Amino acid sequence: MVATATTPTSAEPTNLTTAPPAQYTRPLGVVPTASMIVGAVTGTIWFWIPLALMIITISSIPSVIGTVLGGVVFVYAVRATDHVERLRSEAVFGFGIAVPGRKLTLYSGFQGWAHQLWLDVSSGRFWKVLAHSYLRMAYDIFVVGLAFGLLVFALLGPAAASAIHNSDAAAGLTFMSPLVSWLLAVVALAGAAAILVFGPRVDAVIDQWLLPASPGWALQHEVSALNQARRGAVSSASMERYRIERDLHDSVQPRLVALAMTIGLAQTKLDSDLPEARKLIAEAHGNAKAALLELRNVVRGIAPTILADRGLDAALSAVVQRTETAGVPVTLELQLPKRFSDEVESCAYFVVAESLTNIAKHAKATHAVVTVRYHEPTDELRISVFDDGVGGAKTRGEDTTGLRGLGDRVRAARGTFAVSSPETGTTTVTAVLPCAL
């Protein structure tokens, strides 16, 4: 992206998520215990890596290059830790912890990359993630080590006490009696079991304490999302008005002008050349029908009647049929268990319609796949349009009004929009629309 100001600025991302307060949904079980043991084993190695990177970065300040390399690797290591820890917390404890906002640079290229690193390092989220990682690793290593020590004592203590007590060679050695050792072994075994069973509760508390976003982030995200939706709605309305003006000017208006001129010529021929006048009237009739068809196409772009009357399934089937008529075979995969709001269905329709129009006009594709599915757990409608064409589609630039308009329309509906179109070929347009608007 290109900066819109001369001073470094940042923007809130569009992919923030908010979730209800985390609740401990799996308090006991094999999975939390296994996670704690794995965390202790991997922690004995990982514990030293970020710390070593930080020490290398600081100690290499005079060399500059060492500081830069160490700092970059350190930032990426903490980023990866943040991602892995949230996945672990969700998989082990069932937490849907909200992802805190991450400030994104508005610069591009190397400047944007360097500025993004600085934004990450200077954020509270970055250091909170690091603190969480080390606190959890230290706790897991200590608790699992203690449980392991108790288990070793429970298994070997009574045997050692009995061996020493019954050995003639052990004269002069003092150790607890076998009876006491057995009693302590039972206590140690119970303690180790309790640690392994109930120890993950503290892991869950650490996750709740340090992984969630700060209280202000949810409100900031909501404000940012509303601002983006407002900007998307304004931009989408402007793009739609421009499209209507362009279509009327380039298609309907010339037809009507030609119609008026043909009728005028026919009027002059009525008295002098009746056969020619009839020919001109027939031509005017053809122009009138063509103008009516083009006007219907313009109106269809505003509010397709079939969408309101028969729903998204029928509307998308009609779009696919028109695309196949244009020479591009399309596979349509739909999973629509219910009707959605007018805004969601309209937005989904235009995403598919505009994408297929672009494929028919520019992609030189031999096949396209349209997938529209409702994802019930998140109450989202997920749309994907793939083609095997030449690629190179972009959402920015002078000749990308269609895709830019789609992005604005989706953002106005509080959704996310993305285009993947490498120059080597194939294009995938994806959109995710929240259904609870």
The pLDDT tens digits along the chain (437 residues) read 333 333 333 333 333 333 334 444 455 567 788 888 888 888 888 888 877 877 877 777 777 777 788 788 888 888 888 878 877 877 777 665 666 666 777 777 888 888 888 888 888 778 888 888 888 888 889 999 999 999 988 888 888 777 777 765 544 455 677 788 888 889 989 988 888 888 888 888 887 777 755 444 455 555 555 665 566 555 556 666 666 666 666 667 777 877 788 888 888 888 788 888 888 888 888 878 777 777 766 665 555 677 878 888 988 998 898 888 878 899 999 999 988 888 888 889 889 988 898 898 888 889 999 999 998 888 899 999 999 988 887 654 445 556 777 887 888 788 888 888 888 888 999 999 988 75
Q: For position 7, what pLDDT does the model report? A: 36
Task: Give the Cα-Cα-Cα angle 82, 88, 93 (nearest 5 degrees).
Answer: 125
Q: For position 16, what pLDDT does the model report? A: 37
Q: Is the four-CA dihedral 40, 46, 50, 53 of positive or negative sign?
A: positive
The DSSP bridge partners found for residue 418 are: 430
Report the C-alpha gap between 48 and 52 in whole angstroms. 6
Report the C-alpha gap between 153 and 140 in whole angstroms. 20
User: Given the structure tokens 């505003």, which residue do they identify?
Assistant: 302
What's the burial of 64, exposed, middle or buried (CB within 10 Å: 0-12/13-18/19+)?
Answer: exposed
What's the burial of 202, exposed, middle or buried (CB within 10 Å: 0-12/13-18/19+)?
Answer: middle
Q: For position 20, what pLDDT does the model report? A: 39
Listed in sequence order, the DSSP H helices in 248-366 are 253-269, 274-302, 305-310, 312-325, 342-358
Report the C-alpha gap between 10 and 94 in whole angstroms. 32
Prediction pTM value:
0.44
Q: Count the residues in the chain.
A: 437
DSSP string for 119-167: HHHTSHHHHHHHHHHHHHHHHHHHHHHHHHHHHHHHHHHHHHHHHHHH-
Name which of 392, 363, 384, 103 is nearest 220 in CA terms: 103
DSSP structure class, residue 337? -
- Cα-to-chain-centroid distance, residue 381: 13
Q: For position 301, what pLDDT does the model report? A: 55
Q: Is 430 helix (H, G, I), strand (E, B) or coil?
A: strand
